[in-house]
Structure 1
């Protein structure tokens, strides 16, 4: 059973050598540059179930302008992309939110810090990311509100990636959280 206003984020992420060529292709497509932002994502694990095992995520995102959004991401659906049910709420008090999570025994597991340029093309959002400690990425995503549309949307995302010169062997199936946790575990003595 899904929340009646469920939205599914259909996304494909690419690990790229750089961004210049992709930005030129976006310009050639007349994609609209929306904004440059910096984001800090703080991920938490639940005291009652291990999100790493259930493939869920609870994230507090702090935007460069101070906006704070709490997001629950359900388990991934499908194979190629990172499609998930997503529920979000904007919060106006970061410190109180973090204190509530701590008092409920949610544990911070990682922070992901990124600089991001955001573009819009038709019904797609394209994120040009530089992720601290991980490198350069491009995410191409769209949103659907019907589970039946996920496969079609995934193919459309891949086709736009092809149009932007994003090679399919560059697809990164892991989330930024998984990549950060993997890197942190390799750096431990």
Structure 2
């Protein structure tokens, strides 16, 4: 199963982060619009990523919910019918919820730098160090830490879990205060 080392953080200065990402990747980045639908599963997470252009990916992944660098194992299958597959999986498994985001992707070496605007949550940055065969987790963590520093991301801005977890927690808080 392929793996990557991930770091996710809240972004306070979007302009600065975008400028640094452009400099480090020597590119303007690629805009990707996505809607992720999460399904009820016993272990790990199963989501269908709809690219809103008739294409999608079914993604299963397992990673610990903690802040800082974490190893994520995943498998991906492309689909040409994300809407139909979403309906089938919702009927079969039940839907946990959906996350809609606009993502700007920058490649820095073997790392995918995502600058995300998540509907209902705000701005975030995610690093995915795509591990090479035989590369240790420690190497991946080291790459992530170095890039985090170069992008100006502070340790106290790191978050744990997925955007879906943050949205569910926010809904729970809002519903609890009504």
TM-score under structure 1 normalisation? 0.84
For the pair 1:35 / 2:30, whether they are aligned, the reply is yes
In 2, the alpha carbon distance for the partners of 1:140 and 1:79 equals 12
In 1, the alpha carbon distance for the partners of 2:173 and 2:98 equals 16
Return the offset for 1:146.
5.1
Kept in 1, the 8 Å contact 2:67–2:161? The answer is no
For the pair 1:133 / 2:120, whether they are aligned, the reply is yes
Q: What does residue 71 of structure 1 align with?
A: 59
For the pair 1:108 / 2:95, whether they are aligned, the reply is yes
Return the offset for 1:79.
6.6
Q: What does residue 157 of structure 2 align with?
A: 170
Q: What does residue 122 of structure 1 align with?
A: 109
Over residues 40-95 of structure 1, what are the superposed CA-to-partner deviations in whole Å (9 max), with x where a residue is unaligned?
A: 0000003xx3xxxx4x1000011133321100012429872242111000011224
Taking the TM superposition and a 5 Å limit, the aligned residue runs for 1:1-189 are 6-46=1-41, 49=42, 54=43, 56-76=44-64, 80-104=68-92, 106-144=93-131, 149-188=136-175, 189=178
TM-score under structure 2 normalisation? 0.89
What is the CA RMSD across the aligned residues, in angstroms? 2.1
Distance 1:8 1:32, change over 3 A: same
The ranges of structure 1 where at least 4 consecutive aligned residues each deviate by more than 4 angstroms after the TM superposition are 145-148
Distance 1:174 1:30, change over 3 A: closer
Kept in 1, the 8 Å contact 2:35–2:101? The answer is yes
Count of aligned positions: 176
Structure 1 residue runs of 5 or longer lacking an equivalent are: 1-5
Return the offset for 1:29.
2.7
Return the offset for 1:103.
4.2
In 2, the alpha carbon distance for the partners of 1:168 and 1:100 equals 40
Kept in 1, the 8 Å contact 2:112–2:127? The answer is yes
In 2, the alpha carbon distance for the partners of 1:11 and 1:75 equals 9
Q: Secondary structure at the match of 2:120?
A: coil
